[in-house]
Structure formats: C-alpha cells, structure tokens
Amino acid sequence: MASSSVSRFAWIVVGLLLPVALLNYLDRQMIASMKVSVMQSIPSIGTEANWGLMLGKFKLVYAFFSPVGGYIADRFSRKWTICGSLFVWSAITWLTGHVDTYSELLWTRSLMGISEAFYIPAALALIADYHTGPTRSRAVGFHQMGIYTGVMIGGFAGFIADSEALGWRKAFDFTGVAGILYAVPLIFLLRDAPRIASSAGTLLKPTAASSARELLTNRSFLLLAVYFTIPAAAAWMVRDWMPAILLKSFKISQGKAGVSASLYWQAAAWISAAAGGIWADRWMRTNPRGRIYVSITGTALIIPALFGVGNAGNLNSFSLAIAGLILFGFGWGFYDCNNMPILCQVARPELRATGYGVMNFLSMVFGFGVDWTFGILSDRKVPLNLTCAVFAAGVLVSIFLILLVRPRSFDTTP
C-alpha cells in the first residue's frame, strides 16, 4: 500500500500510535455517555451548566497546553512527548474513577486536559515526518481511525455505567491501567524520525518566540487555523452533547443513547477517513490543492447533517437523527484526515507540531465555549434546530476561508 519511497517503519509508526489515539479519545469521551450515572454518583455536580463547565474546562486547559506540547515536540522529541503524555493521562484517567465530589472531578478533568494536550500535535507531526508526501493523507487518516474507534467504544460506556456489576468507575480504572501498561513498551518501539534539515542545510530548533512570530505572520496558516476551528466547534457539540440530546428527545435508555450518538457517525468517519486519505493523496498527484478540495467536500456535507440532527427531535424522527449523524461522520472523515497534511503545505517541518498545537488551542477554546454555552441554552430551553443552524452558517463561512489558502511544498517529495 505504501509507495517505494516510504519505509516499512513509517507504517509501523502509524500502527504503534493507533492504540494511543484510541485511548486518547476513549478516556476523554466515555464520560459523556455515562452522564446520568456520574451525576447520580456525584450529586454535587448539580446542574446541566455545571456539567457543561466540567466538559468545557477540560477543553480550556487542553487548549492552553496544546501549543506548549507542540513546541516541546518540535524543539526536543516527538517520541518522548507522546510516551510521557500517554503515561500521565492514563494515570489521571485511573484517578478519575475514584473522585467523590464535583471539585475533585473538575481537577482530574483539568489535569487530563493538560496531559492529553501533548499527544495529538506530536503524533501527527511524527507521522508527517515519516510520510513526506505521497502517503501523508492516508497515514493521517489511518491514525484518525484510531480516534474514531475510541469514540465508538466510548459510546458503549453507558451500558457499562448502567451495569450493577461494573459501573462507571471501573471503566476509568480499566482504561487508565491499559494506557499505563502500553506506555512502557512504546518507549522502546517508537523512535523519532531523523531531524529534517532547513533549506540552508542546518538543523533548526526554533525558539518559542521565533515559532510564534513565523506562524502568526503566516496568512495561510491563520486561515487554516480558523477553518480548523469552526467545523470542530460543531463536532464538539455532537460529540459531547448528542447522548444527552437523544436521551431527552426520544426517551431512550442511557446505554442506547450513548451508542447511537457515537457509533454511527464515528463509523462513517472511520470509512471516510480512509477513503478521503486515498482520494486526497491521488488528487495531489495532479493538483497541489487536492487535499484542500477533499477537505472542503467533507465540510460541505456537515452543513445538511446539522440541519438533520437539529430538526429530528421536532419531527420525532429517530431515523432522521441517525441519518444526520452518519452524514456528519462522512463529512468529518474527509475533513479530519487532511488537516495536518494541509498544515504541511503552509508551515515548514520544524513548526508543524507547534502549528497544530496552536490550531488545537483555538479549537479547544471554542469547544469550551460550546460545552458551557450549550449547557446554559439547554437549561433555558433554546430550540436545538436554532443552535444547529448557527453552527451550519459558521461551517459555510469556513469553506470560503480555506479556499484563500496558498499551498506550498516544504518536502523533498510531492
């Protein structure tokens, strides 16, 4: 499947990171599917707004530490950033299963946000280091499939929470221990790619100031960062609140709501990330904007998907809700597998983890606002279709922004 210019180890790197990607999103996502059980177990949570604040606080600290994690990966080692992040967040995941108060839950989720923030920028940059062009979108797409698998498994957490023999606390115990155990062999199996030389022939280790200056004065990077943020804001609403939305709108069980809210759209994203990666890599052979066009195709699918999800409750159509989620997933996979590859066309290799960290910063800040605001809107009975219409309008604007990006080649292979 890989081209002759890509070593076998380049694909081994993707395979090694797949379980980490799975745990990264499973550990953060499963709490959304166990909302009812967690709130019953910890009465001090109290209101929907407090629940939204807890979800949002994770994103807020994740946001602020994403550029830090990206810079450390660029400046020092992607491998050690990844392994350290996995070990620490897994330990905090285990600790989350032992909290008794809302305050303790806020602290563990905040600490998890800090530790998890270091992983994604480093992992995607490492994949991009090994896959220097012809297989880049495919490789990133396969990695993102691990994320979607984690979210899908997280959707079944509602059944675990409902089980008297298991419960939500044991779910955190198990995934926390699994991550701690996997971090140990990963240290010995994973390795950094050789440092890429600059055009001047010297190895560059950018300072924080020079990284910030170069990225924040790069017009194409700023446009990509905004484009990255707007569809992601809609996805945070779907990812974090859809279990509660389906439970409330269709009076189904917590377990069924959790599975329905995650399985269908993540399965669709799983398929489209693989297909979109292959499509984008092939399109790049004839057009340097190929990855941008595949991403736009996906983003355009998100718009009607939001209208379907937003109006399903009013029409009392569970089928429409599921259809909307599936369409959202297909769009998301095309979009998600190409963000780092597009970033590689607007920023040099030494800045890619930092750049993705900055993009994550913006996405997570908006994600914090989405979670908290959606909780407030839910308390105030604001119609879901109105909220989804606002998200859809923002996604439409983002499409026009990404068309203004000017791609360049920073790699030795196209």
Report pLDDT digits (tens) over 306-337: 999 999 999 999 999 999 999 999 999 999 99
For residue 247, give every residue at least 6 positions away whose Cβ sits within 8 Å of its Cβ, in sequence order, or none: 36, 253, 254, 257
pLDDT higher than threshold 90 for residue 177? yes
What's the pLDDT at 46? 86
Question: Residue 204: its pLDDT value, please?
Answer: 59
Residue 27 structure tokens: 């550990």
- Is 3.40.50.10490 the CATH number for 8-192+206-402? no
Question: What is the predicted pLDDT for the residue at 4?
Answer: 45
| Percentage of the chain lying above the pLDDT 90 cut | 65
Confidence of residue 201 (pLDDT cuts 50, 70, 90): very low
- Mean per-residue pLDDT, 121-132: 94
The model's pTM is 0.87
CA distance linking residue 171 with residue 26, whole number of Å: 10
Across residues 258-286, what is the average pLDDT?
92
Confidence check: pLDDT of 369 > 60: yes
CB 268 within 8 A of CB 43: no
Question: Residue with structure tokens 């709501």?
Answer: 257
Average pLDDT over residues 376-383: 84
What pLDDT sits at residue 414?
Answer: 40
Contact 246, 325 (CB under 8 A): no
pLDDT of res. 382: 86
Question: Is the confidence at residue 404, as pLDDT, over 60?
Answer: yes
Interval 192-197 mean pLDDT: 70
- Confidence check: pLDDT of 160 > 70: yes
Q: How far apart are CA 179 and CA 89, in angstroms?
A: 8
CA neighbor of 329 nearest in space, from 405, 254, 275, 371:
275
> Of 150-164, 166-180, 231-245, 358-372, where does mean pLDDT reach its minimum?
150-164
Asked if residues 394 and 332 have their Cβ atoms less than 8 Å apart, the reply is: no
Predicted confidence (pLDDT) at residue 354 exceeds the cutoff of 60: yes
Q: Which of 354, 311, 359 is nearest to 338 (CA)?
A: 359
Looking at mean pLDDT, say which of 159-163, 242-246, 274-278 comes out highest.
274-278
If one compares 253 and 16, the residue with the highest pLDDT of the two is 16
pLDDT tier at 411 (50, 70, 90 boundaries)? low
Among 50-64, 67-81, 93-107, which stretch is predicted with the lowest mean pLDDT? 50-64
Closest by alpha carbon to 93, among 143, 31, 47?
31
- Residue scoring higher pLDDT (47 or 127): 127
Q: Is the pLDDT of residue 198 over 60?
A: no
